Chains A and B, each alone.
Chain A
Amino acid sequence: MNWPTLWQIVLETIALGSIYALVAAGIVVIFRATGLFNFAHGQFMALAGYIGYTIQHYLGFNYAATAIATAAIVFGLGAVTYWSLLRRLLGFPLWAPIMVTVGLSIVLDSVIDIVWQQNTFEIHGFQAIGRVELGWGAALSNAAIINIATAVVVLCALELIFARTHYGRRLQAAAENPLLAGLAGIKVARYFALAWGIGGATAAIGGLGYSTVALVTPTLVSLGLRAFPAALVGGMDSVRGAAVGGFLVAFAEVWGVRTFGSAAADATVFLVLLLTLIVRPYGFFGSRDIARV
Chain B
Amino acid sequence: MLLKNTDRGLYCEAGDFYVDPWKPVDVAVVTHGHSDHARPGSRLYVGEASGKTILRERLGFDARIEMLAYGEAFSRNGVKVSLHPAGHILGSAQVRIEHQGEVWVVSGDYKLENDGTCRPFELIRCHTFVTESTFGLPIYRWRPQAEIFREINEWWRTNQGLERTSVLFCYSLGKAQRLLAGLDPSLGPIFVHGAIERFLPAYRDAGVKLPRVAKAEAEVVKQSTPRGFVLAPTAADGSPWLRKFGDISTAFASGWMQIRGPRRRRSLDRGFALSDHADWPGLLETIEATGAENIWVTHGYTGQLVRWLREKGRNAEVVETHFEGEKEEKEEAPTRAQEAEGEA
Instruction: State whether these chains interact.
Output: no
